[in-house]
Structure 1
Amino acid sequence: MHPIESEPGRAPGPETLRPLLPSPLHALTDDRFARRGVRLLLKRDDLVHPDLPGNKWRKLAPNVRAAVDRGCTTLLTFGGAYSNHLRATAAAGRLLGLSTIGVVRGHELADRPLNPSLRRCTADGMRLVFTDRSSYRRKAEPEVIEGLRERFGDFCLVPEGGSNALAVRGCADLGRELRGRADVVAVACGTGGTLAGLAAGLGPEAQAVGFPVLKGGFLGRETERLQTEAFGRRTGNWRLEDRFHCGGYARTSPELEAFAGDFTERHGLAVDLVYVAKMLHGLTTLVTEGAFTPGTTVAAVVTGPVAGAGG
């Protein structure tokens, strides 16, 4: 998505966020790939915007555009205690002068000190509302949304992870930026929205491989649902690799931690353990297993901030 030109007298829109597009694409020398005759590229989507890196900008920008066009002044969304999406929504609100409300999974968290991620949200002006996990699972039900409107007044709803038809169409630009540059594109998956758009933008000539970061086996259905909502049908060439989530969201293992440390030593890039490290570990494992024929060019999308970035 290219920056939107603002009109005289028009309220601030996503152009205010000043993204760096297309995001950089760098070749990486890694002997584990070279031994198999596979070329590795890093798509540095984490550099799109300092406060809304990677897929967060690509998902939020079209949703913010729609909200501003409707005259909406408040965004409400959902997320866990360490949600990058909550942080990005709060940052977008600060930059655009919009009020933001974050519904956080885990009522017990209300009695604890805020973690660095939630502190960043409040510093950017987000109002945090903690809810029990049972209620959180019902967040998409009409009566739950109506209850939130009765409590907080009118707002534009952005779904958990920002994944909806608008976001999927925004992420299709990521695929278009990689057309003709790679045979396989790997991406970490939380809600399926980035994979859905990426695959559509790539077209059928290249394959998108999604690496779920949480267990459950639902992402295939959800990705297909999002594509149908955005494009009317399943589209693109994509699949999921479900072996590398380490047991659930934000869970790690000694093997994953060792891999991430080794990757940092090799390439000078400290990747986060929640998303990017799981994708890179899975991709490297597939390469060493011989999953890709010699001569294949593989692009790995760095969808979020590097480890330690942004607090």
Structure 2
Amino acid sequence: MFDQASPSPLQSLQHPLLERHRLRLWIKRDDLLHPRISGNKWRKLKYVLRQALTEHAQGLLSFGGAWSNHLHALAAAGQALGLPTVGIVRGEPASAANPTLSDAAAWGMALRFVSRQDYRRRQDPDWLAALAAGHSGFYLIPEGGSTALALPGVAELWRELPAVDQVILPVASGGTLAGLLTARPAGTRITGYAVLKGAGWLARTVSALYPPATLDPGWQLRLEHHGGGYAKCPAQDRQRILELAAELSVPLEPVYSGKAILGLFRDIEAGRYPAGSRLLFVHTGGLQGARGGL
């Protein structure tokens, strides 16, 4: 199922703000890569799941919030591969009724809810060892699928992109940004819009996944457009995202790509992107997260 997919569409965007600032903007519609495993999740999981199959894993275990695109995609992949899946979910069991986790459960994922305090231990070796002992033979995948094996799948995106000055994307766990950095063309900068509050640690996470990023001047993180935190979006921002979706003729959600493209347009209005620049926005998928009034 993770053979090379057909390239996702590349769409040229028109908007008065772009004309006024003399910018060209394309959007890479990775939300259309797969009906269930969309966008960066398809690319990040490609080699991770191949490794799990090579190791004859008995199942897959990973982590996420109540609206996790990653857990949603992993549940779909597990069902397709015939592998049991377990999701360690930050939050309360009442969240199991939301559309994201309802899908995951319908596709066979066993949901285990933990407190925010316990969830912070998701990188603690002792806690992970206890999880592994309780799920013998399961392949453990980090939150968001952001592991070294995710990077080559993301890097393949460059094969489908035209020459541009800036590639722009939403950033949560950092794996997609790190993967793009592994094959960044010398003439292209990368700007990531963090969708989490207080995400100053993201630069360290990206560098941990791809150590050369520490000395690479060709990328930056924008931390001011999180909208209050992960899966939070003020009513005013949500309304503006809906308007942008209509103006650009692109479906958006208020958790990842919608929040990032709103930040991009605010930065364009503030003059952060030089006139004449060729910009490309990567739609990382996750439209399922728009359900339920988020």
- TM-score, normalised via structure 2 length: 0.93
Per-residue deviation at 1:233?
A: 6.4
Contact kept in structure 1, 2:132 and 2:140, CA below 8 Å: no
Q: Distance in 2 between matches of 1:59 and 1:265?
A: 29
- Of the three residues 295, 298, 304, the one matched with 2:276 is 295
Q: Distance in 2 between matches of 1:299 and 1:121?
A: 31
Contact kept in structure 2, 1:59 and 1:163, CA below 8 Å: yes
- RMSD over equivalenced CA pairs, Å: 2.0
86 and 285 in structure 1: CA distance in 2 versus 1, 3 angstrom threshold: same
1:67-216 equivalences in 2 (<5 Å): 67-106=52-91, 109-110=92-93, 114-178=97-161, 180-216=162-198
Contact kept in structure 2, 1:18 and 1:49, CA below 8 Å: no
- Of the three residues 232, 239, 249, the one matched with 2:220 is 239
Contact kept in structure 1, 2:31 and 2:286, CA below 8 Å: yes
Q: Distance in 1 between matches of 2:26 and 2:95?
A: 41
- Equivalent pairs, count: 291
Contact kept in structure 1, 2:96 and 2:102, CA below 8 Å: no
Tell me the alpha carbon deviations over residues 75-117 of structure 1, each in whole angstroms, 9 at most, x when there is no partner.
10000111000000000001111111111112xx225652111
Per-residue deviation at 1:202?
A: 2.5
SS of corresponding position for 1:292 = coil
Q: What is the match of residue 66 of structure 1?
A: 51
Q: Distance in 1 between matches of 2:34 and 2:182?
A: 23
Per-residue deviation at 1:254?
A: 3.1
Contact kept in structure 2, 1:175 and 1:200, CA below 8 Å: no
Q: What is the match of residue 202 of structure 2?
A: 219
**Structure 2 alignment gaps of length 5 or more:** none
Per-residue deviation at 1:148?
A: 1.3
Greater RCO (CA < 8 Å, at least 6 residues apart): 2
- TM-score, normalised via structure 1 length: 0.88
Contact kept in structure 2, 1:87 and 1:118, CA below 8 Å: yes
- Of the three residues 21, 26, 30, the one matched with 1:41 is 26
Q: Distance in 2 between matches of 1:101 and 1:113?
A: 13
Contact kept in structure 2, 1:74 and 1:98, CA below 8 Å: yes
Amino acid at match of 1:283: L
Contact kept in structure 2, 1:176 and 1:202, CA below 8 Å: no
Q: Distance in 2 between matches of 1:195 and 1:286?
A: 19
Q: What is the match of residue 267 of structure 1?
A: 248
Amino acid at match of 1:207: R
Tell me the alpha carbon deviations over residues 222-270 of structure 1, each in whole angstroms, 9 at most, x when there is no partner.
1111112xx6965572101111001210111233112212112213323
SS of corresponding position for 1:149 = helix
Tell me the alpha carbon deviations over residues 1-59 of structure 1, each in whole angstroms, 9 at most, x when there is no partner.
xxxxxxxxxxxxxxx24663322111111111111110010100111111110100111
SS of corresponding position for 1:41 = strand
Q: Identity over the aligned pairs, expressed in percent? A: 40
**Structure 1 alignment gaps of length 5 or more:** 1-15
1:258 corresponds to 2:243 = no
Q: After alignment, is 73-82 or 236-245 more displaced?
A: 236-245
Tell me the alpha carbon deviations over residues 126-145 of structure 1, each in whole angstroms, 9 at most, x when there is no partner.
11111121111112212112
